[in-house]
């Protein structure tokens, strides 16, 4: 079975998650306001990654405000 890559840009007010079991993920704040990823503030222009560690991760929550924009990439 091959891995599935998901890439998306979230640019509307939302609370969502990167689903549990992902093998790698990267998020970057490409908007104009501070966002929240896994309960931690992510400043404008900052990125955060969850590298491959040999097993899947638990889900990671993110929150985007009405002026925010988040680039999300994850591999299942």
76 residues of the chain, pLDDT tens digit each? 899 999 999 999 999 999 999 999 999 999 999 999 999 999 999 999 999 999 999 999 999 998 899 999 999 9
CA distance 43 to 28: 9
pLDDT at 67: 87
Into which CATH architecture does domain 5-75 fall?
Sandwich (2.60)
Distance, in Å, from the CA atom of 68 to the CA atom of 56, rounded to the nearest integer, reads 28
Break the chain into its structural domains and give their ranges: 5-75
Q: What is the pLDDT of residue 13?
A: 94
Q: Which two tokens stand for residue 59?
A: 């889900």
The closest of 16, 65, 7, 12 to 38, measured between CA atoms, is 16
């Amino acid at each position: 079975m091959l891995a599935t890559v998901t890439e998306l840009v979230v640019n509307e007010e939302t609370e969502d998650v990167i689903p549990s079991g992902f093998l790698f993920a990267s998020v970057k704040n490409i908007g104009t306001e501070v966002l929240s990823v896994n309960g931690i503030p992510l400043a404008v222009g900052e990125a955060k990654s969850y590298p491959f560690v040999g097993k899947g991760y638990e889900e990671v929550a993110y929150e985007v405000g009405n002026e925010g924009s988040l680039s999300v990439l994850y591999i299942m």
